[in-house]
Amino acid sequence: MKIIISGKQMELTTGIKNAIEEKLGRLDYYLHPETEVKVTVSAKKSRQKVEVTIVPINGPIVRAEDIEENLYAAIDVVYDKLNKQLRKYKNRLQDRHQDNKTIRYNENDLVEDDNIEYDEDDNFDEILIERRKKFDMKPMSPEEAVLQMELIEHDFYMFKNIDTDELSVVYKRNNGGYGIIEHE
């Protein structure tokens, strides 16, 4: 696992980098050795923010973030969130395939870890898609898509971008702004 650590509006000390690498290094149980783990640490006033994005070679992107007054507490919370997400994903794969393979890519590297704790509220049921929608998409600008999203009172809106002729999604951000997801 390749851990890439960067700091925003702060200088990262060796101690901070070591703490992040040590804590997130425990996740290698779930990940391929070539998996990229991007960590961004930022500080504003007395708040410390840790954002981690795991970009696996194959599988879903996993992301977690936390804001705390203590940076090391934020690292711990982010680790717990990632561990829970990866454990849940691994168990879903195991349940789906019924042959207890890890989500690693070397099937011979099946690892047993007695240190992993399972919460009672972990739900490993199959994902059930309850509704499908199909609709025509006329080409529009992202600004037009935001207006459409507001009109139908949704948190997101998929549209065909008039500039790129690709499918895109606009969405409401938690901070009150808007975001757009585009194909790379």
CA distances from 169 to 62, 172, 182 (A): 19, 10, 7
Q: What is the pLDDT of residues 76-115, one digit of tens each?
A: 999 999 998 888 877 777 666 555 444 454 444 444 444 4
Cα(18)–Cα(162) distance, rounded to whole angstroms? 46
CB atoms within 10 A of CB 12: 14
To the nearest whole percent, how much of the chain has pLDDT over 90? 36
Cα(19)–Cα(82) distance, rounded to whole angstroms? 16
Stated pTM of the model: 0.57
Structural domains of the chain in order of their starting residue, each with its CATH number: 2-101 (3.30.160.100), 139-182 (3.30.505.50)
Cα(159)–Cα(180) distance, rounded to whole angstroms? 11
